[in-house]
Amino acid sequence: MQTDSADRIILGGRYRLDSKVGTGGMSVVYRATDMQDERTVAIKMLRHEYAEDEEFIRHFRNEMEATKDLHHPNIVEIYDFSQEDDAPYIVMEYISGITLKAYINVVQSMGWRDALNIVAQILSAVDCAHSHGIVHRDIKPQNILITDEGRVKLTDFGIAYAVTEGTRKAVGDSAGSVHYLSPEQARGGFVDERSDIYSIGITLYEMVTGVVPFDGESHVSIALKHIDGNIVPPHTVDPDIPYGVSDLVMMATKKDPAERFQTARDMYARLKMVSANPGYSFLTPENNIEDGAADIQNLESTEFSAPLVIKRESEERYDAGDSGEDRARQGRTYTDKELEISRAEIVRNVTMTTFAYVLAVVLGIAGIVFMVTRYRDLSKNMPRFTTVSYRIGNYTAMKAESVIADLAEKGITVVQEPVINDDYPTGYIVGQSLESGQVITSRDVLTLKVSSLSNSFVLEDWTDKDYREAGSALTSVGINVNYQTVASSAHKVQMVVRTAPAAGSIVAPGDTVTVFYSTGQLAEKVRVPNLLGLSLQEAELQLNLAGLSLRRAYPEPGMDITDLLATPTPSPAATPSPADETPEASGDITPGAANTDDPDDDASPEATVTEAPTPTPAPVIASATVVAQFPPAGTELYAGESVEIYFYNIRMLQTPKKLTLEYPKDAILPGSLINVRIESRSVTGSSAYSDIIFNDRVEAKDFPLEYTVNLPVNGTPARVNIFINGSLYRQVLVTAGTAEKTDER
C-alpha cells in the first residue's frame, strides 16, 4: 500500500483515496481518483474484519462478475476489482447525489408522477440485467442512487448471482432489505426475475405513501408479513393517489409470482398506460368513470411491443377491393330471365340451408345430451380408477392458513392438530405427519401440527345449522360470538352460512368467532348517485330511485348556522374598503375642515372625535343545495342502505378533540432536539384532506405534547401520522367516542 506526499492511500499504485463517503455493514466507500485515466471513481472496500470471510468475499466477486458486462445509463458501472493487503475492493463509477431512501426521508412522500419516472428508470435497468440472466435480489431505496441531474442509478449487485440459494444471510447491512423481500425470498424458496418486480412494487409503495407496507419489531416478524400479510392499497392510504398508480403497486406485489408482472417490460408497458391515464383502474374497473370508457378502451388495446406488420403490394390491393374481377362485377348488367332463375335458385338454396341447419341443431342437442350423461357417469366412477399425486414440501414455520388453502386447491384434505410451542407464533406450523418430498394423493390426509394457545381446539363446521345452536355451543367453551346476517338464497333463514375464522381453524377460549347466518334473500348492490348541487327533495328522489334512503341531512338547507361554527365567518361588507371610507365614517377630523354637524364648533381643534361602531358580522347561512355527501358518489352499497348529505362545508363543522403525545422512549433520538411532525388525514363527503397539526423541534422536557385533531361530522375516524426526526413513528386512528387507537402494522 502506497501513500502520496499528503499521506493519502494509493491502492494498486493507481487509485488515490481522497475521502470517505459512506459506510455499510460490511464495506466502506471512498471517493477516489484514478490517476491513470484521470477521473473520479468510487472505491468500495471490504472491511478488514471480514477480509478472511469467504462468504463476504464471494459477495464482492459476485457484484463484480454480475455487472462487468452491464453497460446501461441507469446502472452504476463497475471498472475494476482487485485486492490490497488481503482486503478486496471494487472500483466503480462515482455518483454525485443521494440515495432514494434519503430522498424519501426528506420529502416523506413524493408526487406520483415523479415516482413513476423513477420506477421507469429502475425497470429499464432491471430489464437490462434480466436480459443478461442476472436477478438483482436486493432492490431497495438504499441501493438506488439519484444523481444531481436527476438520473436514477441502480447499484449493489452483491448477491445477484445466488439465485438458487435461500434467503441471504442477515449481515449488518441487511436491516433495510427485509422490508423489500419478496415472499419467496422470505421463505427461502426459488428466486427469479419476478422477485425483483415485487421489490420494485414495495419501493413504489414507499415513494407514493412515505411508508413501507410492512414493519415490525424484528426481521422475522416483517418477513412473515411478506408471506401472508395483506398490503393496504396505496389509494386507501392516500385517496389522492390515482387508482392506476395504486393498481400498479398491487399488481407488482402479488404473493404468487405467477400473478405479478412477469417481466420488467410488462410492468413498464403498464406504467406507460397508467402515466397516460392515471385515473383508470385496471384491477377494479368498477371504480372508473363512465365518461372515460372510450379512451380507456383505446388505451387498453395499445400494444407497446407489437411487431410492425408490412403488407405485400398484392394484399393491399385485395384489401382495397380494387381487383380486376371486382371492377368487372361492378360493371355487369343482368336480363329479366337471368334474374328469375336467380330468384328460384335463391329460394331453393334458402330451403336446403334451413333444413340443414335444423337437422344440425337437432343432432347437436342429442349429442350434447349424450355427452353430458356419459360425463356424469364417468365423473361418478372416475375416483375409483384415477388418483392425482403431489409431492409435499416442508411447511414448518409457514402460516397454516396459507398452506391449507394451497393444498385445498389440489384436493388434499388437511387436518390441524393444535400444539403448544413457544418457538413459533400462534397459527404457524411446527410439524407435519408426512416428511417433505413424500408423495401424497388426493385420497390421503395430511396432519399439520400448528402452534396454539393452551386449551385450543379445532372449530367445528356449523354450516346449515341454526345460528343460535352454534352460538350457544361456542359460548359454552369460552368463545366470544358475534352474529352477522348475510343475504343468501342458497341457505335457509337463520341457518349458518359460514364462520370467521373458517371451519377447521384452531381457536382458543377468549377468541372471537363471527357467525354469519342467512336472511333468506339475496340483496342487490347499487351505486350511490351523485347528489351534489341538488335540493333536499331532489336528493331524496334520486336516492329512492337508486334503492337507497336518506339517513341525515345536515344542517338544514338555508338555516342560520352561525352558532355551529367555532369562529363565525364575517360578512365581506362588515369591513369597509379604504376607498369607501370618509372622515365621518372613520371617525377622523381633517385639520382645517369645518364640522357641519356642529355649527358652533367652527373647526375647533378641541372637537370631540366619535368612533364608528363595530359592524355586526352577517349570519352564516347553509346552502340550499347539497355541497357534500357520504359515502361519495359511485360507492357500492346494498339496496336499502342510507346516505348522508350536507348543506355546508363540513370541514368547518368538525368536532375538535385534544390528544397528547408522550415522550417516544422506543424511538432512536440522537441529540437533544427532536423534530416532531403530526399530520391528520380525514375523509369528508366525497373528498379527503390533510392537516399538519404540529411541526416543530422540541426537547424532552416539552413532553407530553398536546395537539388537536378535527373529527369529521359524519363519524368517520381521522388517521394521524406521527413522524419523529423524519421517520414514521406511529399511526393512530382517532374517533369521536374513543381515545386514539394504534393501528396494527
Give me 598's grid cell. Answer: 356642529
**3-class state of residue 436 by DSSP:** coil
Tell me the C-alpha distance between 210 and 677, whole Å: 14
Tell me the C-alpha distance between 336 and 279, whole Å: 63
Give me 354's grid cell. Answer: 334451413
Q: Among all residues, which ones are annotated catalytic?
A: 138
E strands within 85-150? 87-93, 97-99, 144-147
Q: 481 with 515: CB under 8 angstroms?
A: yes
The CA-atom distances, in angstroms, between 362 and each of 42, 352, 355, 366, 371 are 80, 16, 11, 6, 14
Number of CB atoms found within 10 A of residue 90's CB = 23
Give me 318's grid cell. Answer: 385485395
Tell me the C-alpha distance between 597 and 171, whole Å: 91
Tell me the C-alpha distance between 676 and 66, whole Å: 43
> Does residue 704 have a cis bond before it (omega within 30 degrees)?
yes
Per DSSP, the residues of 241-288 read S-HHHHHHHHHHT-SSGGGS-SSHHHHHHHHHHHHH-TT--SS-GGGS
Handedness of CA 437, 442, 443, 449 (dihedral sign): positive
Contact residues for 744 (Cβ-Cβ < 8 A; gap 6+): none
Give me 687's grid cell. Answer: 373528498
Using alpha carbons, select from 690, 673, 672 the residue that is nearest to residue 681: 690
Q: 96 with 41: CB under 8 angstroms?
A: no
Using alpha carbons, select from 207, 192, 202, 188 the residue that is nearest to residue 263: 192
Tell me the C-alpha distance between 574 and 696, whole Å: 36
Q: 541 with 549: CB under 8 angstroms?
A: no
Tell me the C-alpha distance between 680 and 717, whole Å: 10
What is the phi-psi region of residue 341: left when phi exceeds 0, alpha when psi lies from -120 to 50, beta otherwise?
alpha
Number of CB atoms found within 10 A of residue 682's CB = 23
Q: 407 with 401: CB under 8 angstroms?
A: no
Radius of gyration of the chain from its Cα atoms, rounded to whole angstroms: 36
Going by their DSSP bridges, the two strands 445-451 and 480-486 should be labelled as: unpaired
Going by their DSSP bridges, the two strands 525-527 and 636-638 should be labelled as: antiparallel
Angle between helices 193-209 and 112-131 (to 10 degrees): 170
DSSP 8-state secondary structure symbol assigned to residue 75:
B
Contact residues for 2 (Cβ-Cβ < 8 A; gap 6+): 9, 10, 13
Tell me the C-alpha distance between 185 and 188, whole Å: 5
The CA-atom distances, in angstroms, between 271 and each of 118, 231, 246, 268, 286 are 11, 20, 11, 5, 20
Tell me the C-alpha distance between 205 and 116, whole Å: 11
